[in-house]
Structure 1
Amino acid sequence: MEFNYLNKSSFLFNGTDMYQRFGIQLTEEPQDVFQPGLRPRKTTIPNRSGAYDFGARFYDERALTLSCVTTRIIERAGVREISYLLSKKGTIRIWNEPGKYYVGRLYDAIELEQLRRVGNRFALVFSCEPFAYGETIQRNFQGLYAPNYTGTAATPTRIEITNTGVRDAVGIRIMQIDKKVA
Structure 2
Amino acid sequence: MLSFVFNGKDSFKDYGIFIEKRPNVPSPKRRVSYISIPGRNSSLRYDEETYEDITLSVECAVIGNIQSKIDDIKAWLIGSGESDLIFSFQSDKKYIAQVVNSIDFEVILKITSRFVIIFNCRPFKYSVMNEVINITSGTGTSVLNRGTVKSRPLVKVYCSGNGAFVINNKEVKLIGIEKPYVVIDSELEEAYFVESGILSNANNYMSGEFPVLDVGNNIVTFNGGVSKLEITPNWRWL
| TM-score class normalised by the smaller sequence | 0.7 to 0.9
Unmatched tracts of structure 1, length 5 or more:
1-7
Match runs of 1:27-38 below 5 Å: 27-33=20-26, 35-38=27-30
Give the direction of change, closer, same or farther, for the CA distance of 1:40–1:173 in structure 2 (3 Å limit). closer
Q: Deviations over 1:52-73 (max 9, x none)?
A: 3212521111112222111222
SS at match of 2:14: helix
Distance apart, 1:179 and its partner CA: 3.1
CA distance in 2, matches of 1:115, 1:155: 45
Q: TM-score, normalised by structure 2?
A: 0.58
Match runs of 1:131-146 below 5 Å: 131-134=124-127, 135-140=129-134, 142-143=136-137, 145-146=141-142
User: Which residue matches 1:156?
Assistant: 152
Of 204, 215, 231 in structure 2, the residue corresponding to residue 179 of structure 1 is 215
**Retained in 2: the 8 A contact 1:70–1:115?**
no
CA distance in 2, matches of 1:92, 1:73: 25
Of 86, 93, 116 in structure 1, the residue corresponding to residue 86 of structure 2 is 93
Match runs of 1:18-29 below 5 Å: 18-29=11-22
**Retained in 2: the 8 A contact 1:93–1:102?**
yes
User: Which residue matches 1:54?
Assistant: 46
Give the direction of change, closer, same or farther, for the CA distance of 1:57–1:173 in structure 2 (3 Å limit). closer
SS at match of 2:47: coil
User: Which residue matches 1:127?
Assistant: 120
Give the direction of change, closer, same or farther, for the CA distance of 1:11–1:54 in structure 2 (3 Å limit). same
- Note the aligned Cα RMSD (angstroms): 3.2
CA distance in 2, matches of 1:137, 1:74: 39
**Retained in 2: the 8 A contact 1:70–1:117?**
no
Unmatched tracts of structure 2, length 5 or more:
170-213, 217-238
Identical pairs, percent = 22
Aligned pair count?
168
Larger RCO of the pair (alpha carbons < 8 Å, separation 6+)? 1
The answer as to 2:70 corresponding to 1:79 is: yes
Give the direction of change, closer, same or farther, for the CA distance of 1:146–1:50 in structure 2 (3 Å limit). closer
CA distance in 2, matches of 1:63, 1:116: 29
Give the direction of change, closer, same or farther, for the CA distance of 1:131–1:73 in structure 2 (3 Å limit). same
SS at match of 1:174: strand
Match runs of 1:39-50 below 5 Å: 39-44=31-36
Q: Which of the two has greater strand per residue?
A: 2
Of 119, 143, 147 in structure 1, the residue corresponding to residue 143 of structure 2 is 147
